[in-house]
Structure 1
Amino acid sequence: MKPLTLLRFDALASYARAPRARLIGDEVAWYEHSDERVLGMIVRDKADGDFGGMVFGRDRRGRFRWISATPGWHHSIHRCRVDLRREMERQAHLPDEEYFQADERGAPVDFFTPVVQVHSLNPAFVSLSDALGYSSARGIIEPMMRWYEDADGNFIEQFQTTGFDARIWELYLFAAFTELSYEIGRIHAVPDFCCASPFGEFNVEAVTANPTRDKQGNVVPEPPLETAEQQIAHLKDYMPIKFAGPLTGKLKKKYWEKEHVADRPLLFAIQDFSSPASMTRTSSALQRYLYGYDYEWAHDANGKLVVTPQPLEWHVWGEKKVESGFFRLPDAEQVSAVLFSNSGTISKFARMGALAGFGSDLVQIVRMGMWMNPDTNAAEPLLLSQNIRDPRYRESWAEGISIFHNPRALKPLDPRLLPGVAHHSLEEDGTLRSQIPSNFPLGSFTQLLVPEGTETSVLGAEPLQSA
């Protein structure tokens, strides 16, 4: 029996954890036996402080689930550890069939065995499947995929072909909501996630902003961003229009009319895949579009940062003209909030996988970018570079998530349901109030560095949708 980190245990088995279990016991130690054939956990009962052990094995679909427990509870964690080791040893020598639970349906979910012809595979999927640089991402997705219910029936095909980015975004949300202790229901095709915990419930529909294509299906290049004026116009008009299309399209679906959605807060979770790494710089554009406000800032005579809201009416780019203020649109009061992350990409999986011990140690992972400046009067972010292999480095799935609350929502989302993320809300005078966690990333790039000769190219020199 060997100890596991919580990150490693969660990567393998957190999807089996019932949210209500945290109400009755605290997890204090995690273990594996026989090269992770079985996993173990010690729990401390909240009521009397006694310690008990649980053992997990893979069911018929390859998912770690509870299979046995220690004979009793102990006042001493040492005695509990002895009992747990004996039980894990006993279970490790049993055949696989002893771990099956009689309620499994269907074959194990497998994202990586191609279901289409090789020429149809997305190059990003091929890199994830085969490249050494992405071995940590592949490693952490494999146990996750065993738990992912394909309510649409086409997830794997799209993951391997034209919908790779959108499906990675959904997997990221699945991991983040699981980390936040939600039980995720996917028996309904829409919306994508029905999240429930002892403290509340909400529904989430995932959506992406995608590249513009011409009539022949070719990607239209993004406007140039060489000058300051071009960059400002991109954030003030081009990107708000890009966000408007998918968000208003989802609004027309009227998910709130469905019985399983009607009484719960509804969130739209959007990620920007409109161009490589675009999500690292477009959060402010989404904020402008959602609330219909721009913000001017200056320092007063005392050096205090003063921000002044400026109402917006329209976003105009060429022949396109879109009304600003998504939350002001008819029916938008049915949407409780919009979730955005600058991190829901394959690079997130590479980093989290490495932290959990997956992938090749030959790969060096360096994260560079901008983080929120804790100085309330600062107008510029912090610029940082971090090596993921540094033992001091920390990251969670939910890190980087921003929730933009709808001031007109008929079913407001309680911010306490999503702790550890950034929450933004609009005051009546147009002032934006934000509660932002410490060490919050505003946008980052991830370099995956592999030894020369081990890849056909150096991954990360131009990061693939890296954030």
Structure 2
Amino acid sequence: MDLFTPLFDQDKLHQHFKTISDGRVGRHYQRDEILRWMDGFPDRDNKFVKEFQTTFNSSFWEIYLYATFREYGFSFDWKHAAPDFLVTAADTTFTVEATTANHATDGTPEWGEPLMPEFFENIELNELNRIAIIRLANAFMSKSKKYLEKYANHGHVKGRPFVLAIAPFEQPGFHLQAYRPIEALLFDHYVDEAEYLANPERFPNGPITKSLGSVAKDNGSEIELGLFQNPRFRHISAVVFSHLATWGKVDAMCQNPDAIISSVWLTPEGMKRAVVRASEGPEKITDGLRIYHNPYATNPLPLGVFRREGVVQFWGDHETQSLCQEQAENCLQSRTAMTFLKGNNKDFEEQVVS
């Protein structure tokens, strides 16, 4: 599969694709890493290259998931056109449907605003999280409906765990949401970081979790929170999520000696920052991955399927309304990738924050 030879005029190519395929020195490290990720990945409907070049994010997310599942040693069954993956881990066979949270029709795409210092100075975290929750909910509901209407009675789906894999790309600075909106959507657990940053003395033990119940859309209608706190979505066994499965992940793993990776890791001893060259970095493809299990699932996904150091898993106890977790104090929190490129007889710097 030839991903990188452009099939369309420049005005039809996605901004990210134009960036990674521009032929400048150093890009080959990134392209080679993507090709390693997708080794053996089939183009089942002969549309994958077109979509990678024109819409990008959803295709990139599928490549990431495929590489992650391979890293786990899952086996793949490609006989069925949908859902996106039918995989087996040890004694558990399950299906995975991949989706992305995208900008609204009248919204700004995630690449549509330069992330300059003034952007971060003026960011309103609660507004960013509100938008993220709404767009994540849209992706969740769309795929939930698709499962019930199209997938539920398929022989290879019925009676097996169904996993929804969601990645956020819905607005400029989307990576700043971390995992706050997805946990609010699924478990109605929301951390108000803006409140904490404004008055840290009121929270000596750090930000606290609160229940919001719902969030309002621009038209005034309400988005329900806590989707995994009742049996309504029992058909969805778990949600796989990562706000760090971005092009920065490629930079962090591509062995480019000119790429500098600054990352923050949560450890049992507290937050730790690491600044290293990509060729020396510790980041793995599974770092940043989070699995949210539905306590009401008709076909639960065993915790052992995704259990790995650095992979955070959450599950709710619907009797106590508490959120249980593992590896939450041993995981990647954020990453900034800076690549120094040479071209046109001058040095310049490209920064990817993710």
- After TM superposition, is the score higher than 0.5? yes
Change (3 A) 1:145 1:422: closer
Shift of 1:445: 1.6
2:242 matches 1:341: yes
| Distance in 2 between residues matched to 1:386 and 1:253, nearest whole Å | 43
Residue 283 (structure 1) aligned with residue 179 (structure 2): yes
2:53 partner letter: Q
Q: How many residues align?
A: 332
- The one-letter code sitting in structure 1 at the alignment partner of 2:226 is G
Which one of 293, 303, 316 corresponds to residue 216 of structure 2? 316
Matched, 1:425 2:309: no
Q: What SS class does the counterpart of residue 285 from structure 2 fall into?
A: coil
Q: Which has the larger displacement, 247-256 or 269-278?
A: 269-278
Aligned to 2:160: 264
Choose which of 98, 115, 126 in structure 1 pairs with 2:18.
Answer: 126
Distance 1:218 1:239 in 2: 13
Match of 1:203, SS state, is: strand
Q: Structure 2 vs 1, CA of residues 133 and 210 (structure 1 numbering), >3 Å: closer, same or farther?
A: farther
Pick the aligned partner of 2:262 from 355, 358, 368: 368
- Show CA shifts across 1:214-272 (max 9, x none): 2xx875979x87568x313432x332112111110110002333221112211111111
Equivalent residue in structure 1 for 2:331, among 422, 425, 440: 440
Give the stretch that moved more between structures: 427-436 or 445-454: 445-454
1:402, distance to aligned residue in structure 2 (A):
0.3
Match of 1:180 in 2: 72
Question: d(CA) in 2 for partners of 1:176 and 1:430?
Answer: 31
SS at match of 2:325: strand
Any idea what the Cα deviations from partners look like across 1:395-432, whole Å, max 9, x if unmatched?
22111100011111111111111121110112233322
Q: Which of 383, 387, 391 is matched with 2:277 structurally?
A: 387
Query: What is the distance in 2 between the residues matched to 1:405 and 1:144?
Result: 26
Greater Rg by CA: 1
Residue 174 of structure 1, CA deviation? 0.5
**Contact conserved, 2:342 with 2:348, CA < 8 A, in 1?**
no
| Conserved? CA contact 2:166–2:241, under 8 Å | yes
- Partner amino acid, structure 2, of 1:243: L
Corresponding residue of 1:66: none
Q: Residue 270 of structure 1: SS of its match in structure 2? A: strand
The sequence identity of aligned pairs, in percent, is 25
CA drift at 1:146: 5.0
Which segments of 5 or more consecutive residues in structure 1 lack a partner in the other structure?
1-108
d(CA) in 2 for partners of 1:346, 1:295: 26
TM-score by length of 2: 0.83
TM score, norm. by length of structure 1? 0.64
Q: 2:98 aligns with which of 184, 198, 206?
A: 206
**Cα separation, partners in 2 of 1:279 and 1:261, compared to 1, 3 Å:** farther
1:196 paired residue number:
88
Structure 2 unaligned residues grouped into runs of 5+: 114-118, 197-202
Aligned to 1:58: none
Q: In structure 2, do the counterparts of structure 1 residues 262 and 454 end up closer, same or farther at CA, with 3 Å as the change threshold?
A: farther
Displacement of 1:121 in angstroms is: 1.9
Secondary structure of the structure 2 residue equivalent to 1:259: coil
1:352 to 247, 253, 264: 253
